[in-house]
Amino acid sequence: MFAVSAIDDWRRFGDPRFRVYHLLALSQGVVAVLAGFDVVIPFALAIGCPPFVALLLGVLPLAGGMSQLAVPRLLDRTDGNLRGLTLASAVVSEPRGLYLAALAVLVSLGLLGGPWVVLILAVLLAVTSVLGSIVTANLLSWHSAVLPERDRRLVVPRLMAVSLAIGALLLLPMSFVLDGIEHAIGSAAYALPFLVSGLLGVAEISVLRRLARPGRVIVPPRAVSSVAEPTPELNRFLRVSSINALGMGFGPSMSVFIISVVGLSAGFSMTVASIGTLTMVVAAVVGGSLLARGSSARLLRSSFWIRALAMASPLLALPGAWFAPVFLIASSMLGAIGFAFGSLAANERLFRLISGPAVIRHHARYLALTSGAMTTGQVASASVVAVAGWLGYPSFAFLYAGSAVLRVIAWRAAPTPVPAARQSATAEAGASAVAW
């Protein structure tokens, strides 16, 4: 029955009226993966970044999420022009692969080197991460504004699944190509995935212009809108999400661990990331179908213990051991499942706990809190590696264990979902649609 329903949902998503979302998934999938940190971190290590600096680079996109707090004010200043604000941000952020490709070529030609390369890379990542975060968050509000509730719950999870699938299918062969040509041309090899990403980023801007106009979107001020005030359920959701985000930041980058500690190649690191992304595709499909007919609270709670297992797996990936790749792949797959379930459930949770334009304010608050928590965890992680990185495996094991413990705390703090029978009775009494 579940399989039949899932197939039916995908047939509905394949309808020609959703063609613009198919194109959006294609462009976003390429941009996110080929100019994402699965490629950027190996590139940073290849041009001489120390491991702790590579971890600090990971702080930049996390900190970018805190920019969401400015979105309600920006919408107010632009008279609710959500479309214009999103397009303006996308023009700078989405072709970021072109900037990174140029940097890779300049480094390979010897025109840039030393600390300047790291500084320029950090600036590029900082600017594009902030604006890219605004684009991603605004699109969720855009989808909510132009799609009926039934279509939104159909489109958004499958948009994510298709985007991930396309990115993973490109990343896997790209990892083999990079391993083969990096020895011959050095860091210039990374210009290839960056260039492909940049071209699709330009195409994404064109696709965004074709989306239905969301109209004028104004976020009600807290002082005049009781709807915008957070409920106890929403505050608890934000608190639990922040604990999980702290654990996410505290766990060190898998690419840095694979290359710098376990001693495997950048190509293998990208292969692990590709396997994880393909796993995330399947998880997104399953998670989207579960959300369409089940509890977002239950799915979110499950994602925490899955991610705890994902962070425990690298503890068994001992340097030099023949079985290390097995546990690295297992960690990537478990982390992908937990992330897909958690991301879908968290977004759905927000839509069910709050409605109307106030979604933008609370989504901004959610992203700011979780990004701040991840940033704190990432800075702590980089500090541990900077101070004790010479220990190698023990320092990274400490970080992975700490990340796993924080996920367990989030799982225990998350409320147990209310049984279906009680939900129905509550709904008839006029309470919120879905209880924690």
Render pLDDT for 339-350 as a digit per residue (tens, 0 to 9): 888 887 887 777
Phi, psi dihedral angles at 81 (to 5 degrees): -85, 75
The answer to whether 45 and 265 are in contact (CB under 8 A) is: no
- Name the residue among 311, 328, 292 with its Cα closest to residue 149: 292
pLDDT tens digit at each of 436 positions of the chain: 555 566 777 788 888 888 898 999 889 888 888 888 888 888 888 888 888 887 777 776 665 556 666 677 777 777 778 888 889 999 999 999 999 999 999 988 888 777 888 888 888 888 888 888 888 878 877 887 888 877 877 887 788 778 878 877 887 788 778 777 877 777 788 898 899 999 999 999 999 999 888 877 766 555 344 445 667 777 888 888 889 989 988 888 888 899 888 988 888 888 888 888 888 878 877 877 777 666 777 888 889 999 999 999 999 999 988 899 999 999 999 998 998 888 878 877 776 666 555 566 666 677 778 878 888 888 888 889 888 877 789 999 999 999 999 999 999 888 776 554 444 333 333 332 222 2
Residue with token string 């898998």: 254
Q: pLDDT digit string (tens) for 128-139? A: 888 888 888 788
For the chain, list the domains and their CATH numbers: 18-220+227-417 (1.20.1250.20)
d(CA 269, CA 325) in angstroms, rounded, equals 10
State the CB neighbour count (10 A cutoff) for residue 346.
21
Per the CB < 8 A criterion, the answer to whether 35 and 100 are in contact is yes
